[in-house]
Amino acid sequence: MIMAASLVLLIGLTSGTWHVFFNDMAQGVPKVNEILSNPGNPQAILTHEAESVFEDVIDLDPFDHLPLRPGSTMSRVSMNLSLELIDIRFKEPVNAMADRIREIISGQVQQMTWLSLRTPEGKIMFKYMVLKRINSLFPKATVRNIYFTFFIMQ
């Protein structure tokens, strides 16, 4: 009796694991046949899939060689940022303010030193100062989080 119950439990756990790890993952990944049937541009399929997953995230244009506050051993930073929106409906207003958002980020970087940005705590402080200033542009909070997708100091 115990052996039969153990066998049923094992089969149930195995099928559940199979479903979670293999069926659900395959739904968000482009099929190999789709890529092979469109040999001219397989990247378009992959890009389309990635865009549809994170509709509430806006990737800003790269920031290249922004100057840091003078007096640091490293004087420039290059980075890519993504903004996670509280609601997808805010995408249009945020895109309309993209130039102002870039000015805020550039201005905040120029107030930072290499010593403050080299630590995780400094990056978090920078991120929340920028987040606060960006959200002050709108009547209510619009941006939930800021992600560094690339960050290098020179």
Selected from 3.90.1300.10, 3.30.479.30, 3.40.50.620, 3.30.750.210, the CATH number assigned to the domain covering 57-153 reads 3.30.479.30
- State yes or no: pLDDT of 123 exceeds 50: yes
- State yes or no: pLDDT of 43 exceeds 70: no
Share of the chain above pLDDT 90, in %: 55
Condensed to tens digits (0 to 9), the pLDDT of residues 63-98 reads 999 999 887 678 999 999 999 999 999 999 999 999
Cα–Cα distance measured from residue 116 to residue 112, given in angstroms and rounded to the nearest whole number: 7
- State yes or no: pLDDT of 25 exceeds 50: no
Question: Do β-strands 76-85 and 57-59 pair in parallel, antiparallel, or remain unpaired?
Answer: antiparallel
The whole-model pTM stands at 0.65
Closest CA to 78 of 101, 51, 60: 60
Report yes or no: 66 and 110 within 8 Å, Cβ to Cβ. yes
Map residue 131 onto helix, strand or coil. Answer: helix
